[in-house]
């Protein structure tokens, strides 16, 4: 199902390539922003426990995950 | 049904002590009790929390304290806005049960203004869709005709206002997700200038396109909400730093002398004749009020759809990478972390979300980047340039909000056909300019028709002036 739907979507989107775009600059964002910085001062923030409480598994102030390596499919 | 009251009049009555915030709330909760089973506007109704908020507003009024402009006004929040300690799901199984540790800025601002949050509304999963049929928790029905969709993705927020469950609600609009459901449900719906309303705590879909905006029955109510939520937020570095305009103040300004352009490229055969005649009628009403009407071309407008369905999935494929089963949300256990990520996403995301993640990663992949994402970014530039040129000759532009009125459930099973719904609304998200939908009559089926008003960046003032005139012209 996904395969046929994806090709229909890509066929529709391919219409973009018929436009004359050679000399057009790309636009990634509505605002011409570069880096936005704030003063480097310490501000209050939530405690680790506030975030860890919604984790599927946590231990000792860390998120707990299954082994990263091993048991390949 | 009791008579509908606007947010403006509810707030005035509550402030003056003519009615208590608690009584206003109970009226709305009673309507929810009576009809929510049929409509399914909400993922969660927070009745008890709302009762304590309303009682707190009443206590402040009794003590003679100053209360905000939305004092005692119930508001429904799209369930992609973070609410501290209150389940926030994006209508996705992958976030089911998640309770954010903080509030979205818009939630805090509504509360500071005295509004009473009554619940979290249903949406297409992660705001991806135009009918609310993509929710993992079942579709929302259009209160005006329950055989039809309310639109999407903010379908629950639109239905909540249309069913008088709340006088106002908040949605998010990435490609039309406030304006299209507003049109389908006969409401006012606003997509503000990108950056005018903080996105802090709005769960990201496509970050360069997402904006938060209100639904309401009246233009004045939408202005009141905008005046409460707009303005710079240090927590959103893309939020605009200047002062936000006062929109409630411009509703009685004259439209005489304003130049209004009808976008002829959005008045073709793709649009139902009833949508086109609503736009022509709206143009005639503005002309009668002293505006001048002309036609304007945005030749690349229709190509916006293709550009959008590259840019939005590309950004989504990056944003949704955070749902990895590690820090929050669903985890499906597996032998190692990679397999756990995969199993969690397979079980947690619905089909449309998977489709867009695949589309986005494909469009960004090395061999296809220039052909898809690169071209889409350039089309974005073309469309922005065409609008900028149109605004040299016109103060505002108008078009249909949608190609058709609300359709029946299951009518658009083909994704491309569903995407066509966003044809008229997408250009404003690509450019970042503001746009809003106002109801303007009904079609052959008796369903409401929306007319879209588009304005240049930070042009909310003139946009709301025109919207208010269109509303008066139907009174």
The CA distances from residue A22 to A11, A19, B311, B380, in Å, are 21, 9, 19, 14
Question: Among all residues of chain B, which has the CA nearest to that of A36?
Answer: B237
pLDDT band at A35 (very low <50, low <70, confident <90, very high): confident
- Angle at which helix B304-319 crosses helix B351-364, to 10 degrees, equals 100
Share of chain A above pLDDT 90, in %: 47
Domains and CATH numbers, chain B: 7-249 (3.90.1300.10), 259-304+378-472 (3.90.1300.10), 306-370 (no CATH)
The enclosing H or E element of B17 equals none
B239 is catalytic: no
CB B380 within 8 A of CB B374: no
CB B99 within 8 A of CB A54: yes
Contact list, B358 vs chain A (CB under 8 Å): 2, 6
Q: Distance from A43 to chain B by nearest Cα, in Å?
A: 12
B78 is catalytic: yes
Nearest Cα residue to B313 out of B268, B358, B277: B358
Residues of A with CB under 8 A from a CB of B: 2, 5-6, 8-10, 12-17, 19, 21, 24-31, 33, 36, 38, 46, 50-51, 53-57, 63, 65-73
The rounded Cα B104 to chain-centroid distance in angstroms is: 16
**Residue B450 phi, psi (nearest 5):** -105, 140
- The 10 Å CB-count burial string (b at 16+, else e) for B101-116 is bbbbbbbbbbbebbbb
pLDDT surpassing 80 at residue A70: no
Burial (0-12, 13-18, 19+ Cβ within 10 Å), B40 = buried
Question: Among all residues of chain B, which has the CA nearest to that of A8?
Answer: B416
Q: Distance from A38 to chain B by nearest Cα, in Å?
A: 9
CB contact under 8 Å between A30 and B362, yes or no, is: no
Tell me B263's DSSP state.
E
**Residue B281 phi, psi (nearest 5):** -65, -40
Q: How far apart are CA B368 and CA B154, in angstroms?
A: 32
Instruction: Going residue by residue through chain B, which has 475 residues, state the pLDDT in tens, using 9 for 90 and above.
Output: 334 589 999 999 999 999 999 999 999 999 999 999 999 999 999 999 999 999 999 999 999 999 999 999 999 999 999 999 999 999 999 999 999 999 999 999 999 999 999 999 999 999 999 999 999 999 999 999 999 999 999 999 999 999 999 999 999 999 999 999 999 999 999 999 999 999 999 999 999 999 999 999 999 999 999 999 999 999 999 999 989 999 999 999 999 999 999 999 999 999 999 999 999 999 999 999 999 999 999 999 999 999 999 999 999 999 999 999 999 999 999 999 999 999 999 999 999 999 999 999 999 999 999 999 999 999 999 999 999 999 999 999 999 999 999 999 999 988 888 999 999 999 999 999 999 999 999 999 999 999 999 999 999 999 999 999 999 999 8
B:193-212 residues touching chain A, CB 8 A cutoff: 194-195, 208
Model-wide pTM > 0.90: yes
The enclosing H or E element of B127 equals none
Contact list, B208 vs chain A (CB under 8 Å): 28-30
For residue B356, the tally of other CB atoms under 10 A from its CB is 27
CB contact under 8 Å between A16 and B238, yes or no, is: no
CA dihedral B188, B193, B196, B201 (to 10 degrees): 80
**Which stretches does DSSP call E strand in B110-217?**
116-121, 168-173, 188-191, 211-216
pLDDT score for A32: 80
CB contact under 8 Å between B381 and A24, yes or no, is: yes
Q: How far apart are CA B50 and CA B27, in angstroms?
A: 13
CB B457 within 8 A of CB B429: no
pLDDT score for B2: 38
Retrieve residue B439's tokens.
Answer: 């109801």
pLDDT score for B376: 96
Contact list, A21 vs chain B (CB under 8 Å): 375, 378-379, 382
pLDDT score for B284: 98
Contact list, B326 vs chain A (CB under 8 Å): 55-56, 63, 65
Considering the candidates B92, B131, B135, B153, report the single residue annotated as catalytic.
B153
């Amino acid at each position: 199902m996904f395969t046929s739907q994806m090709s229909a979507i890509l066929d529709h989107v391919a219409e973009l390539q018929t436009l004359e775009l050679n000399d057009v600059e790309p636009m990634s964002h509505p605002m011409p922003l570069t880096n936005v910085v704030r003063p480097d001062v310490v501000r209050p923030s939530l405690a680790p426990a506030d975030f860890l409480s919604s984790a599927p598994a946590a231990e000792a102030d860390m998120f707990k995950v299954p082994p990263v390596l091993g048991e390949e499919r | 049904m009791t008579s509908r009251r606007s947010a403006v009049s509810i707030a005035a009555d509550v402030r003056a002590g003519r009615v208590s915030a608690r009584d206003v709330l109970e009226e709305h909760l009673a309507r929810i009790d009576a009809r929510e089973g049929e409509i399914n506007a909400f993922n969660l109704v927070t009745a008890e929390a709302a009762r304590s908020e309303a009682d707190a507003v009443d206590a402040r009024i009794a003590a003679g304290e100053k209360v905000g402009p939305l004092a005692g006004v119930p508001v429904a929040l799209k369930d992609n806005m973070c609410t501290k300690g209150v389940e926030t799901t994006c209508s996705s199984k992958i976030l089911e049960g998640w309770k954010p540790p903080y509030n979205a800025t818009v939630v805090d601002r509504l509360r500071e203004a005295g509004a009473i949050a009554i619940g979290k509304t249903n949406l297409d999963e992660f705001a991806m869709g135009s009918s609310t049929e993509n929710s993992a928790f079942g579709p929302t029905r259009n209160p005006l005709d329950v055989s039809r969709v309310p639109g999407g993705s903010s379908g629950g927020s639109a239905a909540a206002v249309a069913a008088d469950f709340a006088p106002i609600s908040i949605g998010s609009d990435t490609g039309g997700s406030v304006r299209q459901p507003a049109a389908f449900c006969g409401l006012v719906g606003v997509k503000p200038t990108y950056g005018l309303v903080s996105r802090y705590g709005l769960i990201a879909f496509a970050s360069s396109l997402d904006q938060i905006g209100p639904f309401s029955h009246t233009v004045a109510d939408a202005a009141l909400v905008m005046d409460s939520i707009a303005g710079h937020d240090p927590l959103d570095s893309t939020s605009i730093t200047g002062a936000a305009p006062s929109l409630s103040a411009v509703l009685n300004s004259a439209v005489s002398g304003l130049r209004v352009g009808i976008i002829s490229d959005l008045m073709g055969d793709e649009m139902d004749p009833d949508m086109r005649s609503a736009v022509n009628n709206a143009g005639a009403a503005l002309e009668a009020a002293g505006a001048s009407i002309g036609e304007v071309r945005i030749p690349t407008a229709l190509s916006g759809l293709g550009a959008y369905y590259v840019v939005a999935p590309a950004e989504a494929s990056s944003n949704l990478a955070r749902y990895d089963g590690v820090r929050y949300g669903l985890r499906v256990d597996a032998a190692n972390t990679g397999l756990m990520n995969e199993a969690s996403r397979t079980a947690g995301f619905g089909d449309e979300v998977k489709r867009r993640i695949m589309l986005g990663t494909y469009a960004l992949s090395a061999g296809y980047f220039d052909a898809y994402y690169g071209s889409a970014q350039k089309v974005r530039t073309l469309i922005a340039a065409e609008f900028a040129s149109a605004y040299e000759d016109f103060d505002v532009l108008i078009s249909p909000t949608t190609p058709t009125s609300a359709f029946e459930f299951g009518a658009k099973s083909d994704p491309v056909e569903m995407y066509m719904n966003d044809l008229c609304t997408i250009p404003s998200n690509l450019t970042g300019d503001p746009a809003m939908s106002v109801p303007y009559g009904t079609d052959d089926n008796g369903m409401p028709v929306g007319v879209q008003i588009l304005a240049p960046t930070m042009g909310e003032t003139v946009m709301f002036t025109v919207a208010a005139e269109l509303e008066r012209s139907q009174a």
